[in-house]
Chains A and B, each alone.
Chain A
Amino acid sequence: MKLSRFARLACLLVAGMLLAACQHEAATPWQLTDISGHMPDLAFQLTDDQGKTVTATDYQGKVALLYFGYTHCPDVCPLTLAHLHVVMQRLGKVADGAQILFVSVDPARDTPAALHAYATAFDPHVIGLTGSPADIEALTKRYRAAFSREPGKEGGSYDVSHSSGIYIFDAHGKARLLATPTDSQDKLVHDLHLLLSPGGAT
């Protein structure tokens, strides 16, 4: 008798813990890494792939996906952009509320024209951005996305080591999520859908 009462109490306790776990789950609907409050708002002054000077406010009202790369990167950058292309396709119509900002960390070679050809080869939502080395460095530092130029090789070619994360900002320019290249397309589709739905972002 005593034992059964104890068992009932234990059951209640476990049920209570499970409920708490569920409620905790509901409080964080994100599948990617939540960086709200840990990274500064989107801010920059760069040149877009049409040669126009742009700032972060030009993209206000859109969910922005910030990614650092360079066009002479034949492996990792195209893989990330090809994945984002599939994600945009899966999002369908709501994808039009998103903008992928591909910021070059190799401004010496990445002219607006070169970036335009590169960006459009992947997805219509991709915009290439370049600028002065100082402005680009300031932006990478703002998001702690280190990059460095590797020692030169013969023929003047070189590689650039760069951060592979995708920083996601809501329509108000607030940093919200961080995706890594190993995060699945499913996670990106899930979280972007939430961020892009009316009321879901706030």
Chain B
Amino acid sequence: MKRYLLWLGLTALLAPAVQATQADQIKASHAWIRLLPADLPAGGYVTLDNQGSSAATLVSVHSAAYASAMLHQSTTDPAGNSDMHMLDRLIVPAHGQVSLAPAGYHLMLQQATHALKPGDTVDITLDFADGSHQRVPFQVRPANATD
């Protein structure tokens, strides 16, 4: 009994010192997918708020609903040519916000494992650099949805 109480006291003492995981620090909102016909690659969007006092680094995403899910960025050069490329990581600064929104950062979602329709919800898991994860429900919206 005495040892048990001691143990309880110790854990209570240690608890505040335990660092919150990167996934715990992130609040995800406005998560949606632009659904395109015929299993074309779809864009996924979400706003990430870091409520913690240290940066959180998103390194990958995965979902049972897509065989392939990647972090992407679209860029447009001064001449007006647009282009996309894959990102290794996306840093959400401490107390900062990063928006994955049309014509910028997005999730590139390919090869849906089952047919989707507007109104469905798809779970996508965000993987962070410290090995923590957060599962986020994404709303499936029609092709011509605006942000």
Residues of A within 8 A of B (CB): 71-76, 78-79, 81-83, 85-86, 114, 117-118, 121-123, 146-147, 150, 157, 159, 161-165, 180-181
Q: Complex formed: what's the CA distance from A137 to B146 in Å? A: 30
Contacts A74-B106, A78-B36, A118-B37 given: A161-B144 contact, CB under 8 Å? no
Interface residues in B, total, Cβ within 8 A = 29
The stretch that binds A, out of B4-12, B16-24, B78-86, B121-129, is B78-86
Asked if residues B83 and A150 are in contact (CB atoms below 8 Å), the reply is yes
24 contacts between A and B (CB under 8 A): A74-B34, A74-B40, A74-B42, A74-B106, A74-B109, A75-B43, A75-B106, A75-B108, A78-B34, A78-B36, A82-B144, A86-B146, A114-B38, A118-B40, A118-B143, A121-B36, A146-B79, A146-B81, A161-B81, A162-B81, A162-B82, A163-B79, A163-B81, A164-B76
Given B37, B81, B103, B110, which contacts A121 in the complex, CB threshold below 8 Å?
A: B37
**Is B53 positioned at the interface, with any CB of A under 8 Å from its CB?**
no
Asked if residues A75 and B102 are in contact (CB atoms below 8 Å), the reply is yes
**Is B145 positioned at the interface, with any CB of A under 8 Å from its CB?**
yes
Most buried by B among A76, A117, A147: A76
Q: Which residue of chain A is the closest to B100 with respect to CB atoms?
A: A75
Q: Complex formed: what's the CA distance from A150 to B84 in Å? A: 9
Q: Complex formed: what's the CA distance from A73 to B108 in Å? A: 10
Contact residues in A for B93 (Cβ distance below 8 Å) = none
Asked if residues A82 and B146 are in contact (CB atoms below 8 Å), the reply is yes
Contact residues in B for A121 (Cβ distance below 8 Å) = 36-37, 142-144
Residues of B within 8 A of A (CB): 34, 36-38, 40-43, 72, 74, 76, 79-85, 102-103, 106, 108-110, 142-146
Q: Which residue of chain A is the closest to B45 with respect to CB atoms?
A: A75
Q: Complex formed: what's the CA distance from A85 to B102 in Å? A: 15
10 nearest A-B pairs in the assembled complex, by CB-CB distance: A121-B143, A117-B37, A79-B102, A74-B43, A161-B83, A74-B41, A85-B144, A164-B82, A82-B144, A75-B43
Minimum CB–CB distance for B101 against chain A, Å? 9
Q: Complex formed: what's the CA distance from A137 to B41 in Å? A: 24
Q: Complex formed: what's the CA distance from A72 to B111 in Å? A: 12
Contact residues in A for B144 (Cβ distance below 8 Å) = 78, 81-82, 85, 121-123
Contacts A76-B103, A162-B82, A164-B82 given: A71-B40 contact, CB under 8 Å? yes
Q: Complex formed: what's the CA distance from A165 to B79 in Å? A: 10
Q: Complex formed: what's the CA distance from A44 to B42 in Å? A: 30
Q: Complex formed: what's the CA distance from A73 to B41 in Å? A: 7
Contact residues in A for B103 (Cβ distance below 8 Å) = 75-76, 79, 181
Contact residues in A for B72 (Cβ distance below 8 Å) = 75
Contact residues in B for A164 (Cβ distance below 8 Å) = 76, 80-82
Asked if residues B146 and A83 are in contact (CB atoms below 8 Å), the reply is yes
Q: Complex formed: what's the CA distance from A73 to B81 in Å? A: 13
Minimum CB–CB distance for A136 against chain B, Å? 16
Q: Complex formed: what's the CA distance from A85 to B143 in Å? A: 10
Q: Complex formed: what's the CA distance from A76 to B34 in Å? A: 11
